[in-house]
Amino acid sequence: MTAPTVELVTPAEGFLPAYVSALRRGWSADNIRGAEAAREELARIEHDPIGFIRTKADDREAKGGPVRLPDGSEVQRIPGFFRWIWDGGFCGSISLRWQPGTAALPPHVLGHIGYAVVPWKRNRGYATQALALMLDEARAVGLPYVELTADPDNPVSQKVILANGGVFVERFDKPAQYGVGLESLRYRVMLRREG
């Protein structure tokens, strides 16, 4: 039996009700702030749905205002965009962020790509497919490689990264803004051949 396929769609008004439904069911793309982040997004959507979509689609010039970190501090946004994972319905979210002219990231940005699949559509290969599609987007913005992180106790995410050519780089302590003593694993996926 062939696994269902997904596509990455740019956040748009027609997809918004499905996104709102996922938030109301308790899902959040923010795996650290979880329910708090979902409540904030629902409030933003209720106040200005079109403005919300604009901030989720493409912000390649980092005009979207500061980003709130898990400890409540705010940092300057870097260029990036979100895509929603879609199989005829909302499946999750994946994002790409980068700094112009370099593959390096600020210390508070754990990786170039982050993703989250809704619980009711997990274990279907959707994250693996979505990451493969987002790697094409990363190539298009000129990145030579992307880095992704996964918690040591998240073998599913590690498997998704490895399935897309990820190579383990290091075990490291997350910056203090994420909590003291929290470890993560860093992987790198090369997007261009060396030499």
CB 83 within 8 A of CB 95: yes
72 burial type by CB count under 10 A (0-12 exposed, 13-18 middle, 19+ buried): exposed
CB 172 within 8 A of CB 191: no
All domains of the chain in start order, with CATH: 7-144 (3.40.630)
State the Cα–Cα distance between residues 60 and 76, nearest whole angstrom: 13
CA distance readout (Å), 11 to 17, 117, 121 = 11, 15, 19
Question: Which residue is listed with tokens 């898990």?
Answer: 70
- The answer to pTM > 0.75 is yes
State the Cα–Cα distance between residues 5 and 169, nearest whole angstrom: 30
Length of the chain: 195
Q: What is the pLDDT of residue 195?
A: 47
CB 80 within 8 A of CB 55: no
Strands (E), the chain: 7-9, 58-59, 67-68, 74-75, 80-86, 90-97, 113-117, 145-150, 167-173, 183-190
Tell me which H or E stretch contains 136: helix 126-140
Question: Which two three-digit tokens encode residue 30?
Answer: 């923010």
One pLDDT digit (tens) per residue for the chain, 195 residues: 456 799 999 999 999 999 999 999 999 998 878 888 899 999 999 999 998 998 887 888 888 888 888 888 888 999 999 999 999 999 999 999 999 999 999 988 999 999 999 999 999 999 999 999 999 999 999 999 999 999 999 999 999 999 999 999 999 998 888 877 789 999 999 997 654
Q: What is the pLDDT of residue 178?
A: 83
